Structure 1
Amino acid sequence: MDCRKSQRSVSSAQFSSPPLKILAAHLKRCKKPAGDSASFCLAVTGGEEVAVSLVWMQGRVIEVREERDVCLRLTDNSDTFTVYGADKVPKGKPCLEQGKYVMVMGIVLSCNPEPILHAVKITNLSDNPAHKNMWNFEVDDIHKSIKYTQNLQEFKE
């Protein structure tokens, strides 16, 4: 894990929508569109695509590497993902430790072979197991809503 890859500034991100709750396995399926887009595309039901640039992910810290930046490697049980700049963002209780269950809001830098984020916010969720237990349900629910919203937009056009 090379922490020097995180050169993208948080201020360069366009925060035009809330972060998308997503699992690492889903994020790996995103594609980079042609052109100079700062976002990636996730295919949803009906052949539609959703732009993905800012995400909300949760997982257990499996590695902490302190080089130029603090980098975290996490798993959400669907796959692993890497977070750069973890020491430069607001954090709640100490969360830059192996074994902690955390929420990461971050800008997507890459989707495959493994998702890579630049951290915007990190929160330690370890104290309440409900956060981990409910995470897959939350992600499933929002993705059903995205599909529903996409279908509603077709009727409006």
Structure 2
Amino acid sequence: MIAANVSSSHGEKPRKPPVKVLSSQLREGKGSAVGGGKPEVSIRRLGSRRPGSSGSLAVSVVWMQGTVLEAHTDQNSALLLDETGNFHITGVKNIPRGKPCLSPGKYVMVMGVIQSHSPEPVLRAVKMADLSHNAAMHRKMWKYEVEDLQQTLPS
């Protein structure tokens, strides 16, 4: 898969598509602010590098998967856990059909914009999906999916 820019609303600059990441990659990454003060995190790619590629990858919109530990809909947030640690999501009330995903124990996919990366990652959720129906397979494959995508993306 080649990373292409995703068109956004009229008059906005095109954005990069979300990158699959693990919470530990964000936690260990180096943060910076790009145009408009939006957070961007430089993460270390998973796996061995392909020839000619950089060992790091700049991300601002990410795709993560994890188990819901706590849901605080009154605070518009939730705490999730992937195989490498906790991460928080905010803006859960604004996600169409997102609230049913927010029961403790459910395995979910979250696409969101990085708000903070340390001490624990925080995403402003844009999309959520319940993957609980086949959680064992999704959980088992997730690290491989993350590594495969990160090795495919250009520097």
TM-score, normalisation: structure 2: 0.76
Offset of 1:79 from its aligned partner? 0.7
**Counterpart residue type for residue 68 of structure 2:** V
Distance 2:150 2:23 in 1: 14
Aligned match for 1:121, one of 121, 127, 135: 127
Offset of 1:54 from its aligned partner? 0.4
User: Which residues of structure 1 form unaligned runs of 5+?
Assistant: 1-10, 151-157
Quickly say closer, same or farther: Cα 1:57–1:93, change in 2 above 3 A: same
SS at match of 1:113: coil
SS at match of 2:120: coil
Offset of 1:83 from its aligned partner? 0.3
Residue 89 in structure 1 maps to residue 71 in structure 2: no
1:11-57 Cα shifts (integer Å, max 9, x gaps):
9x966111000000011122222666412222445655422110000
Partner of residue 41, structure 1: 42
Partner of residue 28, structure 1: 27
| Aligned sequence identity (%) | 39
Aligned match for 1:63, one of 70, 76, 101: 70
Would the aligned equivalents of 1:93 and 1:124 in 2 still touch at CA under 8 Å?
no
Quickly say closer, same or farther: Cα 1:19–1:35, change in 2 above 3 A: closer
Distance 1:93 1:64 in 2: 9
Q: Which has the higher strand share?
A: 2
Would the aligned equivalents of 2:98 and 2:127 in 1 still touch at CA under 8 Å?
no
**Counterpart residue type for residue 117 of structure 2:** C
Partner of residue 16, structure 1: 15
**Counterpart residue type for residue 120 of structure 1:** V
Residue 104 in structure 1 maps to residue 110 in structure 2: yes
SS at match of 2:139: helix
Aligned match for 1:141, one of 135, 148, 151: 148
**Counterpart residue type for residue 79 of structure 2:** R
Would the aligned equivalents of 1:18 and 1:54 in 2 still touch at CA under 8 Å?
yes
RMSD value, Cα: 2.4
1:46-89 Cα shifts (integer Å, max 9, x gaps):
655422110000000001113342x1100012110000011211
SS at match of 1:131: helix
